[in-house]
Amino acid sequence: MLLSKLAIVDSTLREGEQFFKSNFSTGDKVEIARALDQFGVEYIEVTSPTVSPQSYQDCKNLAQLGLQAKVLTHIRCHLEDAKIALDTGVDGINLFMGTSKLLRQFGHGKSIDEIIDIATEVITFIHQQNPQIELRFSTEDSFRSFLSDLLRVYLAINKLGIVNRFGVADTVGIATPHQVYQLIQEMRQCFSEDIEFHAHNDTGCAIANSFAAFEAGATHIDTSVLGIGERNGITPLSGLIARLYTLDPETLNRKYSLSYLQKLNQLVAEKIGLSIPFDHCIVGEAAFNHKAGVHTKAVLNNSQTYEAINPSYFDLNRSVLINHKLTGKNSIAHRAHQLGLNLETFQIQAITQTIKTLAEREKLTSENVDEILYSYKKNIG
């Protein structure tokens, strides 16, 4: 699968609404949709209009914003839900239905044959009402469903020749990258329609699983900003972007406004009242900090030595930390040079030793280090 052909289906305004801290107002939704559009995601998925009168209005409103991104809504595979969704003017409808034994027994209570019948009826109805609308049919809890059941459902629906893409959902985050690769590859061999993958992060595999899906031929990957969603969420947009960056930064940079990623994450963090996690890919506070002497020396010579991602693509800066006991003479010399101080090697060595000794005893700031450098120069100058 080519990176240039991959599409991101961002679900911050659907899956993200299911996050325990989320409560987006109409204004928030518009702001987030515009920010996602500015970043350049290909699709924005919004909450089902059947949830409440306000969700119906919001869905309609978002569909009419005139965004570059296509607006989709995610609905149960019910005729009544489909009628309401059609009314909102969205570009596409994402249908889903549980196929695992657990969901069939304790959820909708339907057999595989009944699932095929219902899906056929709903899909045919939507297509008759609006042949232009983009249609996705997804199984739910796909990785706890029998492969034979999944393929029976997909192949039966595929025969209709109406659906644009088939979805696979790791609804409880139980799949491994290997399992994802195998299932998507199997589907790829059965039909040529697009394939969408939705990964939950319960076992920390969402980014790896999404990438495995892409490698096996998935054309659409679901994300949300900061990964917000049910429980601990889904594939975070920044994580997917980081993973894809390592393949081909230039193509990624042409597809998306990478320099806008930080602002987009800050906006959503603000709306949910949380800060961006320090270890979040690309946009977390720790992402481009270098500390140990061995690392800082090499990074100052060539940043690629200890960086898979260049922060400049994202309009971010790396930090070389020198105010700690792990510091080294090369980073201190680099800082002295930045400050315009001309110091001999033996002087740098002495200052480095002073900083290390002080840092063992007390917390130093980078300003403290600068003061030490200035005062040393003053005393000897």
Q: How far is the CB of 156 from Zn ion (least distance, A)?
A: 24
Nearer to Zn ion, 48 or 347 (CB): 48
Nearest of 270, 195, 208, 214 to residue 239 by alpha carbon: 208
- In single-letter form, the type of residue at position 381 comes to G
The pair phi, psi for residue 272, each rounded to 5°, is -95, -5
User: In 3-state terms, what secondary structure has residue 264?
Assistant: helix
Catalytic residue among 200, 280, 295, 334: 295
Nearer to Zn ion among residue 149 and residue 196 (C-beta): 196
Q: Considering the complex, what minimum distance in angstroms separates the CB of residue 259 from Zn ion?
A: 29
| Rounded alpha-carbon distances, angstroms, from residue 111 to 115, 198, 351 | 6, 23, 75
Shortest Å distance, C-beta 353 to Zn ion: 54
15 vs 17 by CB, closer to Zn ion: 15
Binding mask 10-39 for Zn ion (x = CB under 5 A): -----x------------------------
DSSP characters over 105-159: HHTS---HHHHHHHHHHHHHHHHHH-TTSEEEEEEESGGGS-HHHHHHHHHHHHT
In the complex, the smallest distance separating the C-beta of residue 214 from Zn ion, rounded to whole angstroms, is 18
Cβ contact 275:330 at 8 Å? no
> 351's torsion region: left (phi>0), alpha (psi -120 to 50) or beta?
alpha
Please report, as residue ranges, which positions from 306 to 365 form the binding site for Zn ion (by CB under 5 A): none
Binding segment (CB under 5 A) for Zn ion, from list 9-17, 86-94, 209-217, 327-335: 9-17
**Count of residues near Zn ion by CB under 5 A:** 1
Is residue 198 flagged as an active site residue?
no
CA dist 137 and 93 (Å) reads 9
Closest residue (Cβ) to Zn ion?
15
Nearer to Zn ion by Cβ, of 142 and 330: the residue is 142
Neighbours of 242 (CB within 10 A): 21
**Per-residue binding letters, 135-154, with Zn ion (x by CB under 5 A):** --------------------
* Pairing of the two strands 92-98 and 70-76: parallel
Q: How far is the CB of 234 from Zn ion (least distance, A)?
A: 6
Q: Which is nearer to Zn ion, 150 or 234 (CB)?
A: 234
CA distance 69 to 11: 12
Binding site for Zn ion (CB under 5 A): 15
The residues assigned a catalytic role are 295
